Amino acid sequence: MQEFSWIYLFLIVIGWAILILDNARRSRRAEIRELINHAIDITEELAKTSHAYWMKDNTQLDVPILAAEIKRGITRLVRIVNALKRHHQSFGVDDKIKLFRQSMTLGDFETNKRVPITSGDGRITDITQAAFDLTEQLEIKFESLYCSSWWDRFNR
């Protein structure tokens, strides 16, 4: 009878450890999902702000405000991606952020020579495509890390 109580105690401890580890994994996954959602929101906001910036004339009063919003948004985006990289190194999407930043600020950003562009201009398309590439890369990284089954990971 004594040996059965040790077996039951052992099973209870193992089950408890599995529950603790699973809760920690779920908590970490929820935190990372929240960071990714925030990064996607900032990226979409930056793309819209950048579109508005490039379609306005330098003489309009809100152009410097839009430029400042773009700079602040890029800084916030980099901070969020750095927080994601602290969780897992594969969230390093610095190359996509660099392309996104270049598409928004390329050439005559904040210069007197800047002229407004139309909505069909290639720069608008480049900004939209770079934003899409960045958000897609974050989603792919999250899915590969947190949405695959344990069996898939075991068979790698």
pLDDT score of 1 more than 80: no
> Tens digit of pLDDT for each residue in 2-48?
666 888 888 899 999 999 988 888 898 899 999 999 999 999 999 99
Residue 101 above 80 pLDDT? yes
Question: What are the angstrom distances between the C-alpha of 20 and each of 10, 14, 94, 148?
Answer: 15, 10, 34, 20
The CATH number of the domain covering residues in 27-147: 1.20.120
Per-residue model confidence as pLDDT tens digits over 57-99 = 878 888 889 989 999 999 999 999 999 999 888 888 889 999 9
Mean pLDDT of 120-145: 90
pLDDT class of 128 with cuts at 50, 70, 90 = very high
Q: What is the pLDDT of residue 2?
A: 60
Mean pLDDT of 115-123: 80
C-alpha 34/C-alpha 38 separation (Å) is 6
**Predicted local confidence at residue 81, as pLDDT:** 93
Task: Check whether 156 has a pLDDT greater than 60.
Answer: no
